[in-house]
Structure 1
């Protein structure tokens, strides 16, 4: 007797690799996960898009705190400015600007995909790599401008 087709209710001794027997006796494909799927740049791009979106919400909280410090007067604002201008604060602002540039570029990538362009595996990988490169270059250029213009100092 040959092995049944995956999904059939016929009993079998051992399920084929990457298939899981269900309580009703059927054999279903195992859900794809990191042990099965090979990492590629579009997976990274998707995960980073979600992470940067969540991180930008944290940035909105910082902007609200900045506005609150403005509303509470000069002493509160000076405290906020001192914290924001500290080395740790600058790292946070750098990370937020990197998240913003990446999320922007990733949104444009999604708009391009919405038109039907760049959906081949090679095209999707190229667009995703371009978003990563753009985010890094734009962030470094932005911070170079901030330091060169004297807007930020260490």
Structure 2
């Protein structure tokens, strides 16, 4: 006997379903930076004197594990932290030029952000599906 079953499954991810893990940034605090060759995050730097924000820096550093905002306008990216010495958060006190409600480090002081997986959304466990159809064919011979 030959039985053939075609199952068409169409699921859409909703707010209560478990979704893919995304990468989230979290602050490690304020740190003392030093000049080359002892920079906290190496030499990958981008400056933005007029529109720097924490979010812009984090977006620019998306390919790295760490981001640092310093001196109000500087953004450093790196895969490792080079011997950082912590400083009081009050020493990271320069307002970001692109958003004065945010703080973008200080003089030789930078706030380091670390990228890591965020928590799963609340919901039922199980496989992850997107808004695409999945086709399964089961055959019993």
Assess same fold via TM > 0.5.
no
- Compare the two structures and name the one with the higher strand fraction: 2
TM normalised by structure 2 equals 0.23
- Structure number with larger C-alpha Rg: 1
